[in-house]
Homo-oligomer: A and B are copies of this chain.
Amino acid sequence: MPARLHQLSTATSADLTARVAASALATESRMSPDVDGWLAEKRNQPFESTRLALARLTDPDGWYFAPGTGNLEHRSGRFFSVEGLHVQVGRAHGDGHDREWWQPILVQRDIAILGIIAKEFDGVLHFLLQAKMEPGNLHMVQLSPTVQATSSNYTRVHGGRPARYVEYFTEPGMGRVLVDVLQSEQGAWFHLKRNRNVVVEVTGDVPVHDNFCWLTLGQIRALLRRPNVVNMDARTVLASLLSVGGASAGDPEPGGLHTMTEVLSWFTGRKSHHELSARLVPLDSLVGWHRDDERILSEDGRHFSIVGVRVHARTREVHSWKQPLLAPHGPGLAGLVVRRIGGRLHALVRAEVLPGYRDTVELGPTVRFMMNDYADTPADRRPEFLDYVLSARGGVRYDVVQSEEGGRFLHAETRYLVVEAGDDFPLRVPADFAWISFDQLLALQRHSYYLGVEARTLLLCLLLLCLGNL
């Protein structure tokens, strides 16, 4: 790494904290278009994503079912593949395993860049977002990071034009890195997937191409109050930024109900408690799933399907393509219970075991649940705190539906819900749960694989919406 001779760097987090707060308070900017009109126009372009029978997805130059395994792969060997996973979950101190299942899973080895360019205008930090079409998106177009590209994109395996602005993140010296950290995606649907969450601040001129615009954090905050506008990728990058520019960034030992040592020990303990074996197996071999001409479906019809789509889009690197998507059967719920303890806001997080995580456990919201299972699940077998979250006995602080990754999932929507509980809500919670202060969550989020993707969205929304009120 290039060295700066004769000079030791010093922390700049206090400065960044002030600048992040100022941007979050700026609700207008001369640099930004009329966002509503601009987004409506972008959504009004001729995009088309139509369902395609799986049997018609395959192509001599494109997707195919690999002989011997039935895995759905691209002939280039890039992009992603759909493979099978055999999962066994148990407890380290128990005998054998408690649960065992098979499922299709998306496998993508290369690390995607989710990169946002930041720049000050009139002394206020702005972020360059993109109106990006993805085939699985609700409304087709949502706001994404400046760059959202796998190496398959930026090395142009698909033969299209390179992703705009990618050089800001792949070439040295284009700007100052504010944050740069690997984080996971959905551990139930992706095998070991992680993305590079990066923000680079530049001082020089940045050309604003078609479909891009500068927004302040205050403007983004307003958009987060609306469903399905700010995409998953933009949300996770901005959440990462708060880990270095949040209110208490730079506090070595952010306090809370538990010390950081206790929080880390609890997390280690949960990983030790849950024993998980997840092995990739041939897609053709999955117990409880079958493939027909239309799709891959579980025999009980639950969970999700693997389907195909055909896409026409004039603004993407290539104008037309076919691809598989994972289609969840109904919306998810990500519900977080928060409360003040000793004056500080705390979140009740859950150590969530998912087969696609690199290290078994990451922190999830208090409740994560697929809502179409609700009617089928007897009350005594519903997840802990689900009924509390849905009853709205606490004060609802946030309740908006947002989309998950539209490049891999078809209409995957999650209802993000934050409920503030009163002092009567118990501090003593079951072993997989812990009250962790927001300052502590931000400190953890500076490192990889502590917070799952839903927890990161919830942290972002709550911190931006409550700004100045924590």
Which of A259, A261, A431 has its CB near the most chain B CB atoms (within 10 A)?
A261
Q: How far is the CB of A448 from chain B (nearest CB, A)?
A: 7
Give, as a whole number of angstroms, the nearest-CB distance from A116 to chain B: 14
Chain A residues numbered 151-200 whose CB sits less than 8 Å from any CB in chain B: 151, 154-155, 170, 177-182, 194, 196, 198
| A378 within 8 A of partner (CB) | no
Known: A244-B261, A268-B181, A448-B359. A252 touches B11 (CB 8 A): yes
Of the listed stretches A46-54, A65-73, A122-130, A273-281, chain B binds A273-281
Is B250 within 8 A of A92, CB to CB? no
Query: Scoring A residues 136 to 155 as 1 if CB is less than 8 Å from chain B, else 0, what string do you get?
Result: 00000000000000010011
* Nearest-CB residue, chain B, relative to A4: B257
Would you give the shortest CB distance from A268 to chain B, in whole angstroms? 5
> Bound complex: CA of A38 vs CA of B244, how far in Å?
51
**A57 → chain B, closest Cβ, in Å?**
24
Q: Which residues in window 338-388 of A have CB below 8 A to B?
A: 341-342, 344, 358-359
By a CB distance below 8 angstroms, the chain B residues around A92 are 110-111, 151, 155
User: A265 an interface residue at 8 Å Cβ cutoff?
Assistant: yes
Contacts of A342 in B (CB 8 A): 6-8
CB within 8 Å of B: which of A247-261?
A: 250-253, 255-261
In the complex, chain B residues whose CB is within 8 Å of the CB of A8: 255-257, 341-342, 344
Contact status of A155 and B93, CB under 8 A, knowing A4-B257, A180-B265, A253-B11: yes
Q: Is residue A12 contacting chain B, with contact meaning CB distance below 8 A?
A: yes
A sample of 8 more A-B contacts (CB under 8 A), given A92-B110, A181-B268, is A9-B257, A9-B258, A11-B252, A11-B260, A93-B154, A109-B275, A111-B272, A179-B261
Q: A1-B258, A92-B111, A275-B110 are in contact. Are A252 and B344 (CB under 8 A)?
A: no
Give the complex CA separation of A244 and B177 in angstroms.
27
Query: Chain B: which residue is nearest A155 at the CB level?
Result: B93
Taking a contact as CB atoms closer than 8 A, the residue among B109, B262, B448 that contacts A9 in the complex is B262
Expressed in whole angstroms, the Cα–Cα distance for A10 and B255 within the complex equals 6
B261–A182 contact, CB under 8 A? Answer: no
A302 CB within 8 Å of chain B: no
Task: Please list the 4 inter-chain residue pairs (A to B) with the smallest Cβ-Cβ separation, ordered nearest first.
Answer: A11-B253, A180-B265, A3-B427, A252-B252
The yes or no answer to A2 lying at the interface (CB within 8 A) is yes
- Residue A466 at the chain B interface, CB threshold 8 Å: no
Nearest-Cβ distance from residue A428 to partner chain B, whole angstroms: 5
Q: Is A262 touching B1 in the complex (CB atoms < 8 A)? A: yes
A269: interface (CB < 8 Å): yes
Closest to A2 in B: B428
Nearest chain B residue, comparing its CB with the CB of A275 = B110
Q: List 29 A-B contacts (CB under 8 A).
A: A1-B258, A1-B262, A1-B434, A2-B428, A3-B435, A4-B257, A6-B342, A8-B255, A8-B256, A8-B344, A9-B257, A11-B253, A11-B259, A93-B170, A109-B275, A109-B277, A111-B271, A113-B272, A177-B261, A180-B265, A180-B269, A182-B271, A182-B272, A194-B359, A196-B272, A250-B252, A252-B252, A359-B449, A447-B447
Interface-centre pick from A1, A151, A182, A427 (highest chain B CB count, 10 A): A1
- Distance in Å: Cβ of A394 to nearest Cβ of chain B: 18
A415 at the interface (CB under 8 A from B): no
Residues of B within 8 A of A429 (CB): 1, 3
- Tell me if A264 counts as interface (CB < 8 A to partner B): yes
Q: Whole-angstrom distance between the alpha carbons of A251 and B429 in the complex?
A: 31
Residues on the B chain within 8 Å of A262, using CB: 1, 9, 177
Pick from A250, A257, A279 the residue with the most CB of B within 10 Å: A257
Chain B residues whose CB sits within 8 angstroms of the CB of A280 once the complex forms? 279
Closest beta carbon of chain B to A413's beta carbon, Å: 30
Do B1 and A431 touch across chains, with their CB atoms under 8 A apart?
A: yes
The residues of B that contact A250 with a CB separation of less than 8 Å are 252-253
Q: Name the residue of chain B whose CB is nearest to the CB of A351.
A: B1
A270 CB to nearest chain B CB (Å): 10
Return chain B residues, CB-CB under 8 Å to A258: 1, 3-4, 9
A1-37 near B? 1/0 per residue, CB < 8 Å: 1111111111111000000000000000000000000
Q: Check A266 for interface membership: any CB of B closer than 8 A.
A: yes
